[in-house]
Amino acid sequence: MNQNQNNIPLSYFEDTIASKFPGLNQTQFVEELAHHVQVKNVKAGDILMEYGDYVRHIPLVVDGIVKVLRVTDEGEERLLYYLTDGEACAAAFSCCMIQKRSEFKTIAIKESQLWFVPLNMADKWMSTFAVWRNLVFTTFDRKMMELMDLVDSLSFSKLDDQLLNYLEHQSILCNKKSLKITHFEISKDLNVSREAVSRLLKNMEKQGKVKLERNKITLL
């Protein structure tokens, strides 16, 4: 099998899996995945999954950053976690397993490349390939630990500490100190008012922790 539905050489999948998804690096599975997966390039701001959608594919992030959001009982969006290179979406796996509409939204926050695994194959591979089953369980375990850390942070940290941790996490994800982000975007992710974010950022600027510019925050 040298080509697939994307007309991409098998060697591309072999090399990418070896570097980004080493746990899936099993010859028979690589050939099976290459035959069925759909390769997509998306732009920053593209919505990959919307609230209420039926989940048709499981996204694997090859390169880029995707954020996963959920609506609270009060109707406000809250950031759950980010997906980066070599990660799969636990929310999509959850909807896939119990065949329900999505309760999450996923958005690319930078230009990204993803592999979309058809739902029927994702389900079939659970019983036929141990490497895929291990990826699913590992994904759930990792994201559960991240969500527990988030709950602890929201419960016990002061808002200024949460904001600084948020900015530092964004800096690590984007691999840069200067972040192109608005106060409104931050307020949505932290589920607080934009005014509170602006006030705290001004205090952080006075303390020499950040430099503020229009739609741009630089960590010092």
Q: What is the pLDDT of residues 10-40, one digit of tens each?
A: 999 999 999 999 999 999 999 999 999 999 9
Contacts 24+ apart (CB under 8 A), 150-159: 150/80, 150/81, 159/190, 159/192, 159/196, 159/200
| pLDDT beyond 60 at 205 | yes
Residues 134 and 53 in one domain: yes
| Average pLDDT of every residue of the chain | 86
Nearest to 196, CA basis, from 158, 169, 144: 158
What separation in angstroms does the CA of 179 have from each of 66, 83, 118, 175, 194? 16, 18, 34, 10, 17
Least confident of 51-55, 115-119, 150-154, 176-180: 150-154
Q: Tell me, yes or no, whether 208 lies in a domain.
A: yes
| Per-residue model confidence (pLDDT) at position 156 | 46
Q: Tell me, yes or no, whether 27 lies in a domain.
A: no
b/e map 161-184, b = 16+ CB within 10 Å: ebbbebbeebbebbeeeebebebe
Domain count, the chain: 2
Residues 61 and 128 in one domain: yes
Among 104, 136, 155, where does a domain finish? 155
Domain limits for position 161: 157-219
Q: At which residue do the structure tokens 């895929």 appear?
A: 132
Residues 65 and 132 in one domain: yes
Among 127, 155, 183, where does a domain finish? 155
Among 107, 136, 155, where does a domain finish? 155
Q: What are phi and psi for residue 12, nearest 5 degrees?
A: -60, -45
